Amino acid sequence: MPDAPRPDTAPTRALIRSKGEPEAPYDGGPPAHDNIRKPWPGRVYDVLTAGGCRHSYQSDRAWGNALVKALPWAMNFMQINRRHKVTGTLVLAELGIEQFIDLGCGYPTNRKQEWPDTVPLVRAVRSDARVMYVDVDPYVCGFANTDLATGPGMDFLRADARDVPAMLAADRLVKLFDLTEPIGVILHDVLPWLGDDEAARAMRDLHELLPAGSSVSLTHATGDENPAGMEQLVQAYTEAGFDYRPRTLDQITELVGPWDLLAPGLQPTSQWRRDQPPHIPAQFLPDLRLPQDGSHAYAAVTAPKTAAPAFT
């Protein structure tokens, strides 16, 4: 998620307005994770997917409700992405990976069965798996420390996807992981919050610096199936003070760059591996009636890299 405000002025006409709550659109003040008067994307995402208000404020709930009223598909878009974490993460575990970085982990969910956290997911396949929860938001890291990283073989780290070398060199990560063994990176809905050069560098650095055998599960928003609707979502984020960058299939393919992809490659998130799902333990099979289309995003898992990291 973003960690810096936009300095530009507010649009003349806001897409989203709400009654009886603080105004949702950007009004020139600094939108930031510690400004409770402004909606914050990570908290709004939690409101619209986790079904609770533990990690949100009135401004987040008002803006999120107004967003769904203006763009009814937006909630399904976010819920499909969050639900895909089950599939993407289990595929990484089934590759034999036992070390995981949940990069952009977000707030812990109250709905543990529908949206299981990374540790119970991977340990259902790899009982000795180790997990590092990573986010740039210090409040997320606080919740990760108290709600997620609560036992042996797990920890949290405040780090930025725009600086992969610093993340991989952090003391907490070096102490938890064996950097000669494969690492699985969960990178869901992170790259759209980065500029083109930043996103490309993140994918390139992961490929160059991760150990051989490492792999990445990623999702990325797109406007390919609904350009007008996605443009409205981008406008809503812009009015709230944030840059959100959905990309086309060709642009996402270019971002993936040096990585090869597991079959079936990039597919709409709701359809990825629909015909060849991972073995999903029974406890992670809730009766979620999410739509099978309208995911407004692509998903992929990279093939394990074969080259040794650049620093060896």
Q: Provide DSSP, 164-233.
A: HHHHHH-HHHHHH--TTS--EEEEES-GGGS-HHHHHHHHHHHHHHSPTT-EEEEEEE--SS-HHHHHHH
Task: State the pLDDT at residue 16.
Answer: 59
**By the 8 A CB rule, do 256 and 94 touch?**
no
What single-letter DSSP state applies at residue 69? Answer: H
Classify strands 130-135 and 99-103 as parallel, antiparallel or unpaired: parallel
* Averaged pLDDT score across all residues of the chain: 84
**Segment 103-115, tens digit of pLDDT:** 999 887 765 556 6
Please check whether residue 110 is in contact with residue 292, taking contact to mean a CB–CB distance below 8 angstroms: no
Q: How far apart are CA 223 and CA 238, in angstroms?
A: 16
pTM value is: 0.87
Give the pLDDT confidence of 63-101 residue by residue, as tens digits. 999 999 999 999 989 989 988 898 999 999 999 999 999
State the pLDDT at residue 120. 86
Where the chain has pLDDT below 50, the residues are: 2-13, 18-30
**Both tokens of residue 301?**
């898992």
Query: By 3-state DSSP, what share of the chain in percent is helix, strand and coil, each rounded to 5?
Result: 40, 10, 50
pLDDT tens-digit series, residues 232-261? 999 999 988 899 999 999 999 999 988 999
Q: What is the CA radius of gyration of the chain?
A: 18
